[in-house]
Amino acid sequence: MSKIKPSQGAPYARIMGVGGYRPTRVVPNEVILETIDSSDEWIRSRSGIATRHWASDQETVAAMSVEASGKAIADAGITPEQIGAVIVSTVSHFKQTPAIATEIAHKVGAGKPAAFDISAGCAGFGYGLTLAKGMIVEGSAQYVLVIGVERLSDLTDLSDRATAFLFGDGAGAVIVGPSKVPAIGPTVWGSEGDKSETIKQTVAWDTFHAERPEKFPAITQEGQAVFRWAVFEMAKVAQQALDAAGIAPEDLDVFIPHQANMRIIDSMVKTLKLPEHVTVARDVETTGNTSAASIPLAMERLLATGQAKSGDTALVIGFGAGLVYAATVVTLP
């Protein structure tokens, strides 16, 4: 017989607060057109993006995360000292070690929580949310700070016509805590590694170190292949998440997909046959693709503008490099 004491966690977990930070510099398509042969009309028709935010030297991955986290902590009504774990999803923190989560934990005043980074691209927020839920239910933390943050302007090749207009910077954060009722559904997640070359870094860090190519590593993607995968496969994953939570499309109040591309979002809405009453996040128009930050940033904006309200049932789904994905149904804070 095991002598290990059983875990004493909460029966369920929920999102208690949300916060976001967008860099002060707003970059319209006209700036992008200075380096690629395209047009504002083409960019809008292909992606739905009109503007994006680019970080200054002072708006680091850590600085943006601290700002977003402070808002999430205040929104949740807890103190930083109550945070038992900090999870940061990012692909644009350029130090392999230490994890940026440790610096953020210190700067928000979280004491001595568990702190680590994860790399799951645009699905990273969903991965972090699932890990946080497990910690709450298992009993290893009472409150978990989950952050999605990117400075993708650092990894953007402004001469690449296929990607120069896509990416933006920003940070989104949530506090996950205990709940007496189900408020974060089962996560449908996975990967398709046979497609890992469709979104990738152009040059590996070890190659860059050894050969010092002319161009700094950047993100590139096979746009059509990614579009087809997202439209046809991610709608299936979204439906699986609804089924796992016992939710029908008509029961939803809000749909918050990864803000990759307006055409992908609209296609998913159509494929899922979402009713007209469902509010759909379309933050991509003014924020661009912020990878792991896109879902919490979109969630924060919907709540701040009144397009969504506390207690609403929302389907969230992230998908991207890997190719990886994560979808779940949540109750909004």
Q: What is the 3-class SS of 284-324, one letter each residue? A: HHHHCECHHHHHHHHHHHHHHHCCCCCCCEEEEEEEECCCE
For strand 199-201 and strand 219-221, is the pairing parallel, antiparallel, or unpaired? antiparallel
Below-70 pLDDT ranges, the chain:
213
Q: Catalytic: which of 29, 53, 122, 261?
A: 122
For strand 143-151 and strand 83-89, is the pairing parallel, antiparallel, or unpaired? parallel
Active site includes 261? no
Strands, E assignment, the chain: 12-21, 25-28, 51-54, 83-89, 114-118, 143-151, 169-179, 188-191, 199-201, 219-221, 254-257, 279-280, 313-320, 324-331
pLDDT for the residue numbered 116: 98
Sign of CA dihedral 10, 11, 14, 17: negative
Active site includes 29? no
Hunting for tokens 């319209």 — which residue is that? 28
Q: Which residue type is seen at 193?
A: G
Tally of CB atoms within 10 A around 74? 13
Active site includes 289? yes
Q: Catalytic: which of 29, 93, 258, 261?
A: 258
Residues 268 and 260: beta-carbon distance below 8 Å: no
Q: Catalytic: which of 29, 53, 261, 289?
A: 289
Distance CA 146, CA 124 (A): 10
pLDDT for the residue numbered 219: 85
Hunting for tokens 């954060």 — which residue is that? 173
Distance CA 262, CA 150 (A): 20
Reported pTM: 0.94
Distance CA 267, CA 232 (A): 9
Distance CA 225, CA 47 (A): 15
**For residue 27, which of 52, 57, 55 has the smallest C-alpha distance?**
52
Hunting for tokens 């990012």 — which residue is that? 90
Distances (CA, A) of 46 to 161, 256, 264, 306: 12, 20, 10, 28
pLDDT for the residue numbered 147: 98
pLDDT for the residue numbered 205: 78
